[in-house]
Amino acid sequence: MLNILLEEKKRHPAAGVRDYCKLLYQSEFGAGHMVSGADASLERLRAECAACGVGEDAPFTPVGGGLLRLHLRAIPPLGLRLETVNGLFLHACAPRGSVEGLEGKLALLRKNASMLGLDENALEAEIAPWRAAGYPALSHSEPYRVLYHPAYRLVPAEARRFLALFQRIDALLRDKGRARVAIDGNSGAGKSTLGALLAAVYGGNLYHMDDFFLPSERKTPERLAEPGGNVDRERFASEVLAHIGTAFSYRPWRCHPGKLDAPVSVVPRDVEIVEGVYSLHPDLRGAYDLRVFLSIGSDAQIARIRRRSGEALAKRFESEWIPLENVYFDHLGVRECCQLAFEAAPDGEPTRTV
């Protein structure tokens, strides 16, 4: 967090106590105080973008807490639709944070006040009434507004991490009026999380390949010897891919108790997302407009799966499912068929485009 505060001082030397407090508030609580409904939020965004024009601002600056400021003057060169920016902003409005978390960050601000060029008395004079009022949301100081004309939206850090993906989806929506996206890759690389983010930002449908688990009675040696054989791709193709773009229903497979669940009804959306290993099997990949691969190193993969699923399932992933996935990747050119690929960093968290 200190590095973020120092970067703010570098970018905006005239930033005052209130501006640092606002940054810390945003890092802890996000932008929930600004929620006014999706439609009203979009209209406000359009008006602000029209008023501020285009500039040479760096697109993103971090505020901490997994959030960034996306500067509105940088949006036109990025090629992002305002609907997408608004969707990212609304995602950053989810309830989060605590007073204890904010006060811990304010303690850091006090400790480093002199390094940031802040007067300690002025700092306490700002914080004391703010605390007494229950830490409401803050506006930037008047000098900050006059000098820097801030115009931005808070967005999740994934907006920068997966910027190329958002740009490609937005281009498809402009050119074709739709985007059908498949996210394949290593177990534990973040496919489900990314799929859920895209569905939230675009209001799209999300399908999970795990819902098409191959039933035990079909796991013959011959079937499992096929690269990509460990999924019921035939049922996925006939129940889902054959009907995308229309209203339909499908039945997810539930491993416990080992049977099909109740039908899930689907209405067509502009953005349709399929996530999961085997989503880019050659029998399926032609159905998509955009193919994405997520990868992660083996050590980070097992560590993440262990945290997520526990030791017993991690051992099964390592001995059974991951080897089958790797055969599929290696023999069927899965990564090679993708327009975009992202690789998780060694700790298994940040992701970068490759």
**pLDDT tens profile 54-111:** 887 789 999 999 999 999 999 999 999 999 999 999 999 988 999 999 999 999 999 9
Residues 27, 166, single domain; the answer is no
Percent of the chain with pLDDT over 90: 89
Domain co-membership, 41 together with 111: yes
233 and 252 co-located in one domain: yes
pTM of the full structure: 0.93
- 133 and 185 inside one domain: no
Q: Which pLDDT score is estimated for 347? A: 56
Q: How confident is the model at residue 285 (pLDDT cuts 50, 70, 90)?
A: very high
Domain ranges, residue 239: 162-353
Question: What's the per-residue H, E or C state across the chain?
Answer: CHHHHHHHHHHCCCCCHHHHHHHHHHHHHCCHHHCCCHHHHHHHHHHHHHHHCCCCCCCEEEEECCEEEEEHHHHHHHCCCHHHHHHHHHHCCCCCCCHHHHHHHHHHHHHCCCCCCCCHHHHHHHHHHHHHCCCCCCCCCHHHHHHHCCCEEEEECHHHHCHHHHHHHHHHHHHHCCEEEEEEECCCCCHHHHHHHHHHHHCCEEEEHHHHCCCHHHCCHHHHHCCCCCCCHHHHHHHHHCCCCCCEEECCEECCCCEECCCEEECCCCEEEEECCCCCCCCCHHHCCEEEEEECCHHHHHHHHHHHHCHHHHHHHHHHHHHHHHHHHHHHCCHHHCCEEEEECCCCCCEEEC
Q: Of 133, 156, 179, which closes a domain? A: 156
Residues 84 and 181 occupy one common structural domain? no
Please count the structural domains in the chain: 2
The CATH number covering residue 223 comes to 3.40.50.300
Residue 35, pLDDT above cutoff 90: no
Same domain (yes/no): 217, 337: yes
Domain boundary among 106, 140, 156: 156
Residues 186-204 have a mean pLDDT of 97
Lowest mean pLDDT among 115-119, 129-133, 313-317: 313-317
Residues 180, 326: one domain?
yes
User: What pLDDT score was predicted for residue 143?
Assistant: 97
**pLDDT given at position 184:** 99
59 and 148 part of one domain? yes
Q: Which of 105, 131, 156 is where one domain is finished?
A: 156
Looking at the structure, do residues 173 and 241 belong to the same domain, yes or no?
A: yes
Lowest mean pLDDT among 19-23, 35-39, 242-246, 274-278: 35-39
Which whole number is the average pLDDT over 177-182?
A: 99
Residue 350: is its pLDDT beyond 60?
Answer: no
Residues 31 and 90 grouped into a single domain: yes
Looking at the structure, do residues 247 and 141 belong to the same domain, yes or no?
no
pLDDT of residue 257: 82
187 & 204 share domain? yes
